Chains A and B, each alone.
Chain A
Amino acid sequence: MDRREFMKSIGITGAAALLSNPDELEAKTTWAEHFQKAFRLMTDDEKDQAIKRLEERYSEEHGREVKVGKEPAMDGVLFGQALNIQKCIGCRRCVHSCVKENNQSRHDPQGNATEIEWIRVVKMEKGNFSAEDRDHGHPFKKGEEYGISEGGHAHNNVGVVLEGEHYYEPKKVPEKDSFYFPIQCHQCENPPCVKVCPVKATYREADGVVVIDYNWCIGCRMCMGACPYWARRFNWGEPNIPKDDLNTDTHYLGNRPRMKGVVEKCHFCLQRTRKGRYPACVEACPVGARKFGNLLDPESEVRKVLERKRVFRLKADLNTFPKFFYYMD
Protein backbone atom coordinates (compact mmCIF):
# COMPACT_ATOMS: atom_id res chain seq x y z
CA MET A 1 0.00 0.00 0.00
CA ASP A 2 1.48 3.32 -1.00
CA ARG A 3 1.14 6.55 0.90
CA ARG A 4 -1.68 7.86 -1.24
CA GLU A 5 -3.78 4.72 -0.76
CA PHE A 6 -3.05 4.78 2.93
CA MET A 7 -4.23 8.39 3.25
CA LYS A 8 -7.31 7.62 1.16
CA SER A 9 -8.28 4.67 3.35
CA ILE A 10 -7.83 6.80 6.50
CA GLY A 11 -10.10 9.46 5.01
CA ILE A 12 -12.79 6.97 4.04
CA THR A 13 -12.71 5.23 7.43
CA GLY A 14 -12.90 8.57 9.24
CA ALA A 15 -15.84 9.73 7.17
CA ALA A 16 -17.64 6.42 7.71
CA ALA A 17 -17.02 6.65 11.45
CA LEU A 18 -18.39 10.19 11.55
CA LEU A 19 -21.48 9.32 9.54
CA SER A 20 -22.35 6.14 11.41
CA ASN A 21 -24.61 6.40 14.50
CA PRO A 22 -22.52 6.00 17.66
CA ASP A 23 -25.62 5.04 19.67
CA GLU A 24 -25.78 1.33 19.10
CA LEU A 25 -29.30 0.88 20.47
CA GLU A 26 -30.69 3.73 18.41
CA ALA A 27 -28.97 2.42 15.33
CA LYS A 28 -30.75 -0.88 15.74
CA THR A 29 -34.16 0.79 15.82
CA THR A 30 -35.47 0.43 12.33
CA TRP A 31 -37.12 3.11 10.27
CA ALA A 32 -40.26 1.03 10.29
CA GLU A 33 -40.36 1.28 14.07
CA HIS A 34 -39.96 5.06 13.93
CA PHE A 35 -42.81 5.43 11.51
CA GLN A 36 -45.23 2.83 12.84
CA LYS A 37 -48.81 3.77 13.78
CA ALA A 38 -50.25 3.98 17.27
CA PHE A 39 -50.81 0.43 18.49
CA ARG A 40 -54.57 0.69 18.88
CA LEU A 41 -54.97 1.97 15.31
CA MET A 42 -52.94 -0.85 13.78
CA THR A 43 -54.50 -3.71 11.86
CA ASP A 44 -53.74 -7.22 13.09
CA ASP A 45 -51.10 -7.63 10.37
CA GLU A 46 -49.42 -4.37 11.34
CA LYS A 47 -49.45 -5.40 14.98
CA ASP A 48 -47.82 -8.71 14.11
CA GLN A 49 -45.14 -6.97 12.07
CA ALA A 50 -44.44 -4.42 14.82
CA ILE A 51 -44.20 -7.18 17.42
CA LYS A 52 -41.88 -9.26 15.22
CA ARG A 53 -39.59 -6.25 14.78
CA LEU A 54 -39.51 -5.63 18.51
CA GLU A 55 -38.91 -9.28 19.36
CA GLU A 56 -35.96 -9.38 16.98
CA ARG A 57 -34.47 -6.16 18.35
CA TYR A 58 -34.96 -7.06 22.01
CA SER A 59 -33.55 -10.55 21.50
CA GLU A 60 -30.49 -9.10 19.79
CA GLU A 61 -29.99 -6.35 22.37
CA HIS A 62 -30.40 -8.53 25.43
CA GLY A 63 -28.94 -11.77 24.10
CA ARG A 64 -32.04 -13.76 25.06
CA GLU A 65 -35.18 -14.73 23.20
CA VAL A 66 -37.84 -12.17 24.11
CA LYS A 67 -41.55 -12.74 23.47
CA VAL A 68 -43.85 -9.72 23.07
CA GLY A 69 -47.53 -10.49 23.57
CA LYS A 70 -50.55 -8.54 22.37
CA GLU A 71 -53.34 -10.25 24.33
CA PRO A 72 -56.40 -7.98 24.28
CA ALA A 73 -58.63 -7.22 27.27
CA MET A 74 -60.87 -10.12 28.22
CA ASP A 75 -64.63 -9.73 27.87
CA GLY A 76 -66.60 -9.17 31.06
CA VAL A 77 -63.56 -8.22 33.11
CA LEU A 78 -62.82 -4.98 34.96
CA PHE A 79 -59.70 -5.29 37.06
CA GLY A 80 -59.42 -3.85 40.56
CA GLN A 81 -57.07 -4.24 43.50
CA ALA A 82 -57.45 -3.72 47.24
CA LEU A 83 -54.69 -3.48 49.83
CA ASN A 84 -55.08 -4.18 53.54
CA ILE A 85 -53.12 -1.47 55.34
CA GLN A 86 -53.49 -3.33 58.62
CA LYS A 87 -51.71 -6.35 57.19
CA CYS A 88 -48.97 -4.65 55.15
CA ILE A 89 -45.63 -5.00 56.97
CA GLY A 90 -43.65 -2.68 54.71
CA CYS A 91 -41.21 -5.37 53.54
CA ARG A 92 -41.19 -3.94 50.00
CA ARG A 93 -41.29 -7.41 48.45
CA CYS A 94 -44.06 -6.14 46.17
CA VAL A 95 -41.70 -3.38 44.99
CA HIS A 96 -38.87 -5.78 44.20
CA SER A 97 -41.08 -8.34 42.50
CA CYS A 98 -42.64 -5.55 40.43
CA VAL A 99 -39.21 -4.29 39.35
CA LYS A 100 -38.18 -7.77 38.26
CA GLU A 101 -41.44 -8.75 36.59
CA ASN A 102 -41.82 -5.51 34.69
CA ASN A 103 -38.23 -4.99 33.52
CA GLN A 104 -37.79 -1.72 35.36
CA SER A 105 -34.46 0.05 35.17
CA ARG A 106 -31.93 -0.90 37.86
CA HIS A 107 -29.42 1.44 39.39
CA ASP A 108 -26.33 1.75 37.23
CA PRO A 109 -23.11 2.44 39.19
CA GLN A 110 -21.73 4.16 36.07
CA GLY A 111 -24.50 6.75 36.38
CA ASN A 112 -26.10 6.10 32.99
CA ALA A 113 -29.41 4.96 34.45
CA THR A 114 -31.32 5.41 37.65
CA GLU A 115 -33.49 2.95 39.51
CA ILE A 116 -37.19 3.04 38.66
CA GLU A 117 -39.83 1.65 41.01
CA TRP A 118 -43.52 1.82 40.16
CA ILE A 119 -44.61 1.09 43.74
CA ARG A 120 -43.64 3.45 46.51
CA VAL A 121 -44.13 2.40 50.13
CA VAL A 122 -44.64 5.20 52.65
CA LYS A 123 -44.06 4.51 56.32
CA MET A 124 -46.47 6.32 58.61
CA GLU A 125 -46.90 6.72 62.31
CA LYS A 126 -49.88 5.02 63.89
CA GLY A 127 -52.29 7.50 65.33
CA ASN A 128 -52.66 6.95 69.06
CA PHE A 129 -55.60 8.51 70.75
CA SER A 130 -55.54 8.64 74.51
CA ALA A 131 -58.68 9.71 76.38
CA GLU A 132 -56.55 10.81 79.33
CA ASP A 133 -54.60 13.28 77.23
CA ARG A 134 -57.67 14.56 75.50
CA ASP A 135 -57.84 17.86 77.35
CA HIS A 136 -54.15 18.63 77.20
CA GLY A 137 -52.73 20.88 74.59
CA HIS A 138 -49.47 20.62 72.74
CA PRO A 139 -46.76 21.19 73.87
CA PHE A 140 -47.79 19.78 77.21
CA LYS A 141 -45.72 20.88 80.20
CA LYS A 142 -46.64 20.97 83.83
CA GLY A 143 -47.88 24.45 84.60
CA GLU A 144 -48.20 25.33 80.92
CA GLU A 145 -51.42 23.61 80.07
CA TYR A 146 -52.03 25.46 76.90
CA GLY A 147 -50.87 24.96 73.41
CA ILE A 148 -51.72 25.12 69.80
CA SER A 149 -54.34 22.43 69.94
CA GLU A 150 -56.10 22.70 73.27
CA GLY A 151 -58.53 19.86 73.65
CA GLY A 152 -57.23 18.04 70.62
CA HIS A 153 -54.45 15.84 69.40
CA ALA A 154 -53.01 17.78 66.48
CA HIS A 155 -49.48 16.79 67.43
CA ASN A 156 -50.26 13.12 67.08
CA ASN A 157 -50.33 11.93 63.52
CA VAL A 158 -53.62 10.16 63.12
CA GLY A 159 -52.79 9.05 59.60
CA VAL A 160 -55.07 11.21 57.54
CA VAL A 161 -52.58 12.58 55.08
CA LEU A 162 -49.60 10.77 53.59
CA GLU A 163 -47.09 12.74 55.59
CA GLY A 164 -44.84 9.79 56.13
CA GLU A 165 -41.32 8.56 55.60
CA HIS A 166 -40.55 7.47 52.06
CA TYR A 167 -37.05 6.13 52.59
CA TYR A 168 -37.15 3.98 55.71
CA GLU A 169 -34.40 1.36 56.02
CA PRO A 170 -35.09 -0.59 59.22
CA LYS A 171 -33.38 -3.82 60.18
CA LYS A 172 -36.76 -5.41 60.79
CA VAL A 173 -40.28 -4.73 59.61
CA PRO A 174 -42.90 -3.96 60.74
CA GLU A 175 -41.57 -1.29 63.08
CA LYS A 176 -43.34 -0.43 66.30
CA ASP A 177 -46.12 2.16 65.99
CA SER A 178 -45.83 2.29 62.22
CA PHE A 179 -48.01 1.28 59.35
CA TYR A 180 -47.22 1.19 55.67
CA PHE A 181 -48.94 2.65 52.69
CA PRO A 182 -47.88 1.31 49.28
CA ILE A 183 -48.80 3.65 46.42
CA GLN A 184 -48.92 2.81 42.74
CA CYS A 185 -51.09 3.58 39.71
CA HIS A 186 -54.74 3.58 40.78
CA GLN A 187 -56.03 2.71 37.27
CA CYS A 188 -58.61 5.48 37.52
CA GLU A 189 -61.93 5.16 35.75
CA ASN A 190 -61.69 8.86 35.01
CA PRO A 191 -57.93 9.16 34.47
CA PRO A 192 -56.55 12.72 34.31
CA CYS A 193 -53.34 11.42 32.73
CA VAL A 194 -55.25 10.16 29.69
CA LYS A 195 -57.01 13.49 29.25
CA VAL A 196 -53.81 15.51 29.07
CA CYS A 197 -51.78 13.29 26.74
CA PRO A 198 -51.34 15.37 23.57
CA VAL A 199 -50.71 12.36 21.33
CA LYS A 200 -53.13 9.85 22.92
CA ALA A 201 -50.26 7.51 23.74
CA THR A 202 -51.88 6.61 27.05
CA TYR A 203 -55.42 5.33 27.22
CA ARG A 204 -57.79 3.18 29.20
CA GLU A 205 -58.31 -0.37 27.99
CA ALA A 206 -61.67 -2.18 28.17
CA ASP A 207 -60.56 -4.09 31.28
CA GLY A 208 -60.02 -0.77 33.07
CA VAL A 209 -56.23 -0.77 32.91
CA VAL A 210 -54.59 2.48 31.82
CA VAL A 211 -51.80 1.60 29.40
CA ILE A 212 -49.03 3.41 27.53
CA ASP A 213 -47.96 2.85 23.93
CA TYR A 214 -44.24 3.41 24.53
CA ASN A 215 -43.50 3.79 20.82
CA TRP A 216 -46.07 6.55 20.55
CA CYS A 217 -45.09 8.42 23.75
CA ILE A 218 -43.22 11.65 23.05
CA GLY A 219 -41.96 12.04 26.63
CA CYS A 220 -43.63 15.41 27.27
CA ARG A 221 -44.39 14.40 30.90
CA MET A 222 -47.82 16.04 30.85
CA CYS A 223 -49.36 12.83 32.24
CA MET A 224 -46.90 12.88 35.13
CA GLY A 225 -47.99 16.34 36.12
CA ALA A 226 -51.64 15.39 35.84
CA CYS A 227 -51.45 12.22 37.96
CA PRO A 228 -52.64 13.05 41.49
CA TYR A 229 -50.90 9.95 42.90
CA TRP A 230 -47.50 10.58 41.27
CA ALA A 231 -47.62 7.04 39.93
CA ARG A 232 -45.82 7.63 36.66
CA ARG A 233 -42.08 7.44 36.14
CA PHE A 234 -39.87 8.89 33.42
CA ASN A 235 -36.84 7.24 31.85
CA TRP A 236 -34.25 9.98 32.03
CA GLY A 237 -31.52 7.65 30.85
CA GLU A 238 -31.29 4.47 28.82
CA PRO A 239 -32.83 1.85 31.13
CA ASN A 240 -30.37 -0.58 32.69
CA ILE A 241 -31.70 -4.16 32.75
CA PRO A 242 -29.10 -6.84 33.50
CA LYS A 243 -29.26 -9.66 30.95
CA ASP A 244 -29.96 -12.35 33.53
CA ASP A 245 -32.72 -10.34 35.19
CA LEU A 246 -34.69 -9.68 32.02
CA ASN A 247 -38.22 -11.08 32.06
CA THR A 248 -38.59 -12.41 28.53
CA ASP A 249 -42.35 -12.90 28.78
CA THR A 250 -43.63 -9.44 27.88
CA HIS A 251 -46.64 -7.56 26.55
CA TYR A 252 -46.57 -4.71 24.02
CA LEU A 253 -48.56 -2.43 26.36
CA GLY A 254 -46.97 -3.80 29.49
CA ASN A 255 -43.52 -4.85 30.58
CA ARG A 256 -41.56 -4.89 27.33
CA PRO A 257 -38.22 -3.05 27.68
CA ARG A 258 -38.78 0.68 27.47
CA MET A 259 -36.52 3.26 25.88
CA LYS A 260 -34.99 6.51 27.08
CA GLY A 261 -37.41 9.44 27.16
CA VAL A 262 -40.71 7.64 27.72
CA VAL A 263 -43.07 7.43 30.67
CA GLU A 264 -43.99 4.16 32.37
CA LYS A 265 -46.18 2.95 35.23
CA CYS A 266 -48.04 0.02 36.80
CA HIS A 267 -50.44 -1.81 34.46
CA PHE A 268 -51.63 -4.55 36.81
CA CYS A 269 -49.09 -6.89 35.12
CA LEU A 270 -51.03 -7.19 31.84
CA GLN A 271 -48.71 -9.94 30.64
CA ARG A 272 -49.94 -12.05 33.58
CA THR A 273 -53.46 -10.92 34.35
CA ARG A 274 -54.69 -11.27 30.78
CA LYS A 275 -53.62 -14.90 30.97
CA GLY A 276 -55.48 -15.49 34.20
CA ARG A 277 -52.58 -15.01 36.62
CA TYR A 278 -52.23 -12.65 39.58
CA PRO A 279 -50.03 -9.57 39.34
CA ALA A 280 -46.49 -10.05 40.64
CA CYS A 281 -47.07 -7.81 43.70
CA VAL A 282 -50.09 -9.86 44.76
CA GLU A 283 -48.14 -13.10 44.40
CA ALA A 284 -45.10 -11.75 46.24
CA CYS A 285 -46.90 -10.33 49.28
CA PRO A 286 -45.94 -12.60 52.20
CA VAL A 287 -48.92 -11.59 54.33
CA GLY A 288 -51.64 -11.63 51.69
CA ALA A 289 -52.36 -7.94 52.06
CA ARG A 290 -53.22 -7.51 48.39
CA LYS A 291 -56.45 -8.74 46.83
CA PHE A 292 -56.95 -8.65 43.08
CA GLY A 293 -59.87 -9.56 40.90
CA ASN A 294 -62.74 -8.72 38.61
CA LEU A 295 -64.88 -5.86 39.89
CA LEU A 296 -67.80 -7.05 37.74
CA ASP A 297 -67.87 -10.42 39.47
CA PRO A 298 -69.76 -10.31 42.82
CA GLU A 299 -67.89 -13.43 43.93
CA SER A 300 -64.40 -12.00 43.36
CA GLU A 301 -62.13 -11.24 46.33
CA VAL A 302 -61.94 -7.57 45.52
CA ARG A 303 -65.73 -7.19 45.34
CA LYS A 304 -66.08 -8.98 48.66
CA VAL A 305 -63.56 -6.60 50.20
CA LEU A 306 -65.52 -3.64 48.87
CA GLU A 307 -68.76 -4.98 50.25
CA ARG A 308 -67.61 -6.10 53.67
CA LYS A 309 -64.57 -4.09 54.76
CA ARG A 310 -63.82 -0.55 55.76
CA VAL A 311 -62.54 0.93 52.51
CA PHE A 312 -60.47 4.08 51.93
CA ARG A 313 -59.85 6.06 48.81
CA LEU A 314 -57.00 8.45 48.15
CA LYS A 315 -57.96 12.01 47.31
CA ALA A 316 -61.59 11.23 46.60
CA ASP A 317 -62.45 14.86 45.84
CA LEU A 318 -60.62 14.70 42.52
CA ASN A 319 -63.31 12.43 41.06
CA THR A 320 -60.77 10.17 39.45
CA PHE A 321 -62.65 7.04 40.64
CA PRO A 322 -59.62 4.86 41.27
CA LYS A 323 -59.84 1.07 41.05
CA PHE A 324 -57.13 0.64 43.67
CA PHE A 325 -58.48 0.68 47.22
CA TYR A 326 -57.12 0.53 50.74
CA TYR A 327 -59.02 -1.33 53.43
CA MET A 328 -59.01 -2.42 57.05
CA ASP A 329 -60.47 -5.54 58.61
Chain B
Amino acid sequence: MPADYSKSDIPEDFVAAKKESSGNLSAGQSQSKRRFISKTVLTCLSIISTAEIARRVSFKAVKLEIENSSLNDIAKGDSILENRAYVVMTDNEKQTMITSLVDKYNKPGK
Protein backbone atom coordinates (compact mmCIF):
# COMPACT_ATOMS: atom_id res chain seq x y z
CA MET B 1 0.00 0.00 0.00
CA PRO B 2 1.50 3.25 -1.02
CA ALA B 3 2.27 5.85 1.67
CA ASP B 4 -0.24 8.64 2.16
CA TYR B 5 1.80 11.84 2.14
CA SER B 6 -1.22 14.07 2.53
CA LYS B 7 -1.36 13.08 6.11
CA SER B 8 1.53 13.30 8.48
CA ASP B 9 2.24 12.31 11.99
CA ILE B 10 2.70 15.90 13.02
CA PRO B 11 -0.25 17.06 14.99
CA GLU B 12 -2.50 19.47 13.14
CA ASP B 13 -2.68 21.97 15.97
CA PHE B 14 1.15 22.22 15.96
CA VAL B 15 1.17 22.91 12.23
CA ALA B 16 -1.54 25.51 12.61
CA ALA B 17 0.39 27.21 15.44
CA LYS B 18 3.56 27.17 13.40
CA LYS B 19 1.77 28.65 10.39
CA GLU B 20 0.27 31.34 12.49
CA SER B 21 3.61 32.29 14.07
CA SER B 22 5.46 32.33 10.74
CA GLY B 23 2.68 34.42 9.21
CA ASN B 24 2.96 36.87 12.06
CA LEU B 25 6.76 37.07 11.64
CA SER B 26 6.63 38.04 7.95
CA ALA B 27 3.92 40.62 8.62
CA GLY B 28 6.07 42.11 11.39
CA GLN B 29 9.11 42.20 9.15
CA SER B 30 7.31 43.94 6.31
CA GLN B 31 5.78 46.36 8.81
CA SER B 32 9.20 47.34 10.19
CA LYS B 33 10.54 47.84 6.67
CA ARG B 34 7.59 50.04 5.83
CA ARG B 35 8.14 52.00 9.01
CA PHE B 36 11.81 52.41 8.18
CA ILE B 37 11.06 53.69 4.67
CA SER B 38 8.35 56.03 5.84
CA LYS B 39 10.70 57.34 8.55
CA THR B 40 13.47 57.85 5.98
CA VAL B 41 11.14 59.69 3.61
CA LEU B 42 9.80 61.85 6.44
CA THR B 43 13.32 62.68 7.63
CA CYS B 44 14.38 63.56 4.09
CA LEU B 45 11.32 65.74 3.63
CA SER B 46 11.86 67.54 6.93
CA ILE B 47 15.56 68.14 6.12
CA ILE B 48 14.70 69.47 2.67
CA SER B 49 11.92 71.72 3.94
CA THR B 50 14.11 73.06 6.78
CA ALA B 51 16.93 73.74 4.31
CA GLU B 52 14.52 75.51 1.95
CA ILE B 53 13.12 77.68 4.74
CA ALA B 54 16.66 78.52 5.92
CA ARG B 55 17.65 79.34 2.34
CA ARG B 56 14.68 81.66 1.85
CA VAL B 57 15.25 83.41 5.16
CA SER B 58 18.96 83.87 4.49
CA PHE B 59 18.29 85.07 0.91
CA LYS B 60 15.87 87.64 2.24
CA ALA B 61 18.43 88.78 4.80
CA VAL B 62 21.11 88.99 2.10
CA LYS B 63 18.82 90.99 -0.17
CA LEU B 64 18.09 93.42 2.63
CA GLU B 65 21.78 93.66 3.38
CA ILE B 66 22.60 94.38 -0.29
CA GLU B 67 20.02 97.16 -0.38
CA ASN B 68 21.05 98.67 2.95
CA SER B 69 24.75 98.53 2.11
CA SER B 70 24.15 100.26 -1.23
CA LEU B 71 22.07 102.96 0.45
CA ASN B 72 24.80 103.45 3.05
CA ASP B 73 27.34 103.91 0.27
CA ILE B 74 25.16 106.52 -1.42
CA ALA B 75 24.54 108.41 1.82
CA LYS B 76 28.25 108.45 2.61
CA GLY B 77 28.99 109.69 -0.90
CA ASP B 78 26.43 112.47 -0.54
CA SER B 79 27.96 113.71 2.69
CA ILE B 80 31.48 113.59 1.27
CA LEU B 81 30.55 115.49 -1.87
CA GLU B 82 28.74 118.17 0.10
CA ASN B 83 32.06 119.22 1.53
CA ARG B 84 33.89 119.36 -1.75
CA ALA B 85 34.64 122.92 -2.76
CA TYR B 86 35.43 123.79 -6.34
CA VAL B 87 37.89 126.52 -7.04
CA VAL B 88 38.73 128.60 -10.07
CA MET B 89 42.14 128.03 -11.60
CA THR B 90 44.24 131.05 -12.39
CA ASP B 91 45.95 131.34 -15.78
CA ASN B 92 49.22 130.68 -14.09
CA GLU B 93 47.91 127.53 -12.42
CA LYS B 94 46.50 126.27 -15.71
CA GLN B 95 49.78 126.85 -17.51
CA THR B 96 51.80 125.20 -14.75
CA MET B 97 49.46 122.22 -14.77
CA ILE B 98 49.68 121.73 -18.54
CA THR B 99 53.48 122.05 -18.48
CA SER B 100 53.73 119.56 -15.63
CA LEU B 101 51.39 117.08 -17.38
CA VAL B 102 53.41 117.24 -20.58
CA ASP B 103 56.74 117.03 -18.73
CA LYS B 104 55.60 114.15 -16.59
CA TYR B 105 54.45 112.25 -19.66
CA ASN B 106 57.67 112.82 -21.55
CA LYS B 107 59.94 112.15 -18.60
CA PRO B 108 58.15 109.66 -16.38
CA GLY B 109 59.66 109.07 -12.96
CA LYS B 110 61.29 112.51 -12.75
* A237, B66: Cβ atoms closer than 8 Å: yes
Within the assembled complex, what's the spacing in Å between the Cα atoms of A306 and B81?
Answer: 24
* B63, A295: Cβ atoms closer than 8 Å: no
Chain B residues whose C-beta falls within 8 Å of the C-beta of A230 in the assembled complex: 76-77, 80-81
Within the assembled complex, what's the spacing in Å between the Cα atoms of A233 and B37?
Answer: 53
Chain B residues whose C-beta falls within 8 Å of the C-beta of A313 in the assembled complex: 86-87, 89
Within the assembled complex, what's the spacing in Å between the Cα atoms of A3 and B105?
Answer: 77
* B94, A307: Cβ atoms closer than 8 Å: yes
Known A-B contacts A166-B78, A233-B73; A111 and B63 likewise in contact (beta carbons under 8 Å): yes
* A314, B86: Cβ atoms closer than 8 Å: yes
- Asked if B46 is an interface residue, CB under 8 A from chain A, the answer is no
Interface residues on B, range: 35 or more
- Asked if A122 is an interface residue, CB under 8 A from chain B, the answer is yes
Within the assembled complex, what's the spacing in Å between the Cα atoms of A128 and B53?
Answer: 60
The digit string for A1-26, where 1 denotes a CB below 8 A from any CB of B, is 00100010010001000000000000
* A78, B80: Cβ atoms closer than 8 Å: no
Chain B residues whose C-beta falls within 8 Å of the C-beta of A234 in the assembled complex: 69, 73
Within the assembled complex, what's the spacing in Å between the Cα atoms of A295 and B63?
Answer: 44
- Among B63, B67, B78, B81, the residue within 8 A (CB) of A229 is B81
Within the assembled complex, what's the spacing in Å between the Cα atoms of A59 and B81?
Answer: 38
Known A-B contacts A230-B76, A230-B80; A161 and B70 likewise in contact (beta carbons under 8 Å): no
Within the assembled complex, what's the spacing in Å between the Cα atoms of A323 and B70?
Answer: 28
**A131 CB → nearest B CB, Å:** 22
Within the assembled complex, what's the spacing in Å between the Cα atoms of A237 and B62?
Answer: 9
Pick out which of these stretches binds chain B: A38-46, A88-96, A112-120, A273-281: A112-120
* Contact residues, B54-110 vs A (CB, 8 A): 62-67, 69-70, 73-74, 76-78, 80-89, 94, 97-98, 100-102, 104-105
**B71 CB → nearest A CB, Å:** 8
- Among A14, A229, A303, the residue within 8 A (CB) of B84 is A229
- Asked if A311 is an interface residue, CB under 8 A from chain B, the answer is yes
- Asked if B40 is an interface residue, CB under 8 A from chain A, the answer is yes
Chain A residues whose C-beta falls within 8 Å of the C-beta of B64 in the assembled complex: 111
Within the assembled complex, what's the spacing in Å between the Cα atoms of A296 and B44?
Answer: 70
* A112, B87: Cβ atoms closer than 8 Å: no
* A314, B89: Cβ atoms closer than 8 Å: no
Chain B residues whose C-beta falls within 8 Å of the C-beta of A307 in the assembled complex: 94, 98
Of A122, A162, A310, which is in contact with the most chain B CB atoms at under 10 Å from its CB?
A162
Of A7, A230, A326, which is in contact with the most chain B CB atoms at under 10 Å from its CB?
A230
Query: What would 24 A/B residue contacts be, using CB atoms closer than 8 Å?
Result: A14-B44, A114-B67, A120-B77, A122-B81, A161-B84, A161-B85, A162-B81, A162-B83, A166-B81, A189-B101, A224-B73, A230-B76, A233-B73, A236-B70, A236-B73, A295-B102, A296-B101, A296-B105, A310-B88, A311-B88, A312-B87, A312-B89, A313-B89, A321-B97
Inter-chain pairs besides A78-B105, A122-B81, 11 sampled, C-beta below 8 Å? A7-B40, A10-B44, A14-B44, A113-B66, A160-B85, A230-B80, A234-B73, A236-B70, A237-B66, A296-B101, A316-B89
